[in-house]
Amino acid sequence: FRAEFLAERETLRVVFHLVDARHGPVDEDENIMEQIGQSLPRHVTYVIVLTKADKNSRSHNGRKVGKVSKKVMEDLEGAMRRAKVLFAPVILTSAETRLGRDDVWRYLKLAAET
């Protein structure tokens, strides 16, 4: 289904893939990455969005900061390598702190302008 959708949607410009930053990619995320790696048209940008980055740590003053564990990043990089999607930008986000909001908007704007 996804491969057909990607191939047939001529107006599609950006695909956002949300991955929980607390856990990293799970099996279904890896399946999605594989399908993207095999069937994403060249005119479509694939963006991996690591969500809930504020849930991983707090700074010395108790404020939530965006951070991803080394293991999660290694797991993500490995999954991206296996799926041949190392070209994909990765955006670290937090709904609470608005981390990454401007980066996501930049890709949405790109999609709207083309």
Higher-confidence residue of 82 and 95: namely 82
Q: Which amino acid is at 42?
A: R
Return the bridge partners of 27, or none. none
109 pLDDT more than 60:
yes
Average pLDDT, the chain: 87
**3-class secondary structure for the chain?**
CHHHHHHHCCCCCEEEEEEECCCCCCHHHHHHHHHHHHHCCCCCEEEEEEECHHHCEECCCCCEECCCCHHHHHHHHHHHHHHCCCCCCEEECCCCCCCCHHHHHHHHHHHHHC
Q: What are phi and psi of 27, to 5 degrees?
A: -55, -45
Cα dihedral sign for 75, 79, 82, 84? negative
Give the pLDDT confidence of 10-66 residue by residue, as tens digits.
889 999 999 999 999 999 999 999 999 998 998 899 999 999 987 765 444 455 445
